[in-house]
Each structure stands twice: as structure tokens, then as C-alpha cells.
Amino acid sequence: MPVLAERVGELLAPALTGPDAVLVDATLGMGGHTIRLLQAHPELTVVGLDRDPEALRIAGDRIAAAGLADRAYLVQAVYDEIADVVSDLADRGRVGAPSVAGAFFDLGVSSLQLDRADRGFAYAQDAPLDMRMDPTVGVTAGELVNSYSAGELARVLREYGEERFAPRIAAAIVRRREKQPYASSAELVQTIREAIPAAARRTGGNPAKRTFQALRIEVNDELGALRRAIPAALSCLDVGGRIVVLSYHSLEDRIVKRALAALTVSTTPLDLPVELPGTGPELRLLVRGSAAPTESEIAENPRAASARLRAAERIRRAA
């Protein structure tokens, strides 16, 4: 069961009823949300994006097996390319306009990437230190930990992993790599475990969790891409269109919150008695704050436990 599948479907449904409705699934993964939405809306077209070619292949096979391939366009792309992808498909006549009725983001690392030990995302399994969502391009986590200075490593761990022992871990990594460069996740996990005080290791789960999260975010520029992606998705959204975002840690959620909140207020100067034309809010929030999963949703999919959901509807186009 995809994370919060029922709630995501309910929030998007009012925007997806038209005969020409197009939804962008900006984080296709293995296609679980897309399949459910295509089945629920027989006239819907989905544009599915993912930077991981293996995810695209698996999702394509699953969508085809469900008999839905004629209403799905799958594109290898990072989600900050959403506007360019939609515009290109419109130019080629695959979708009716360079705008969409819905946009959906399920952020973070996918089940496919976590479950494949050889991808190096999981700290509980020994594997080469890769962590690239697109394994054909970019710098690996191994290259990063073997080349960044102690200061750069500490910054990454502190900012992206909210790791309070970031300087200790960074210094330990630099000392260890001077003897032998890192090649596997198990080697890095051991360094992290030894760098963290024993008392701190007794609580909070695996001590490597925050470091691995931080390295993954840095390797894939996840937060930079997200800062660009939400405004890009909103720029494509029709009036009446809806955006739903699932995030899994506070840094992601904060970026989404700020991007949505900025368009929910009037830009008329506060000292004017009436709202000026073209300055009203562009978005209406659909949930109060960020919605957490229920116990039943966590039981359906334990990976929903840390999920936070935000959603909005476009009520006005920018002037």
C-alpha cells in the first residue's frame, strides 16, 4: 500500500474529474500512487517523473500490467524539471496544455532504493557507498566522504541530518580515511558508532541514521531540487488544480510550508483599506498545518510513520 494512499487520493480527486485532466506524479517510484489514481479516474492522464532509471522500468512494467500504459507518460527527470517536462509534452501533443490539474510529491528515498542493498542507501546493510538516485551520474557518497574536509562534512551532517555530534563524526571520518579510504557502508557505520558517546548510542535507534540521511541529501541535492520544484509545480497548476506533498523530515516540510504559505496571503499593502486587483491569495490550504498519519495508516505501511502531508488548491492565477 502506498504511503497515505487513501488521503492523497481524496485530496486530489476534486481536481482530477475533468476529461482532459493531467496529473504530474513528480516522484513516481514504483508507481503505486499513480496506478491507484489512474484506476480511480478513467479519463486521467499521468506524467510520471523519476530520476532513477530502475524505478521507471519497474513502474512502467507495473502500469502496463494494470492495463493503464496508454494514459501514462514516464520521463526520466529530476522533479525540479517539472515545468520543462510538461511544456515539452504539450509541444509534442501528448498533453493538451502546458498546465496540469494536479501535482503530487512523495519525497525522500523510495522503497526500491532502500530495499536494494547494492544501492548503498541503507545503513543496516553493507554495500558500496553510492546513494545516487540516478546511479549513472554525479558524485557517490563514497567519493564525498573521502574528499570533503572535516568542516564540509560537519556542515552537511549538521544541516541535513540535524546531527548534534556532527563535528565529532566528521573528524573521525577524516582520521579513518587517512589510513584507508572508505569503500563500504559498514566501514562508515563503524566509524559513526565509535564517534558517538556510548550514552547517546543507547537511545534513538541506529546512530548512523542521521549521517546516512545527510549524505543522501547532499549526494542528490534533494533540498536544492525541492526548493526549485515546488514553485515550478505551482507555476504549472491550473486554477482549481491541487498539489499534495508528503515529506519525511523537518527540512523538507519547512521548504514545502514556506513555498505554499507565500502564496496564501494577499500582497496588498497592509495600510490600504481594500484589496487591490490582482493581489489576492493564489492558493488555499486544504489541510491545517502538516497532517500526520493515523495509526491505521501506519499499520498499512510502516514507512508512513514519519510522513507529514501538506496540500493546497490554486484559486487565482498570478497577474
Q: Which residues are annotated as a binding site for S-adenosyl-L-methionine?
A: 31-33, 50, 79, 106, 113
Counting every residue, how long is the chain? 319
In terms of DSSP H, where are the helices of 41-100? 53-65, 82-91
Rg (CA), the chain: 21
In terms of DSSP H, where are the helices of 92-140? 111-115
In terms of DSSP H, where are the helices of 82-138? 82-91, 111-115
Tell which phi-psi region holds residue 141, choosing left (phi > 0), alpha (psi between -120 and 50) or beta.
alpha
List the strands of the sheet with 72-76, edge to edge: 72-76, 45-50, 22-25, 100-106, 237-247, 308-314, 283-285
Contact 176, 142 (CB under 8 A): no
Cα distance between residue 309 and residue 104, in whole Å:
11
Nearest Cα neighbor of 285 from 254, 251, 245, 318 is 245
Binding residues: 31-33, 50, 79, 106, 113
Cα distance between residue 287 and residue 89, in whole Å:
31
Tell which phi-psi region holds residue 4, choosing left (phi > 0), alpha (psi between -120 and 50) or beta.
left
Cα distance between residue 218 and residue 138, in whole Å:
11
Tell which phi-psi region holds residue 118, choosing left (phi > 0), alpha (psi between -120 and 50) or beta.
alpha
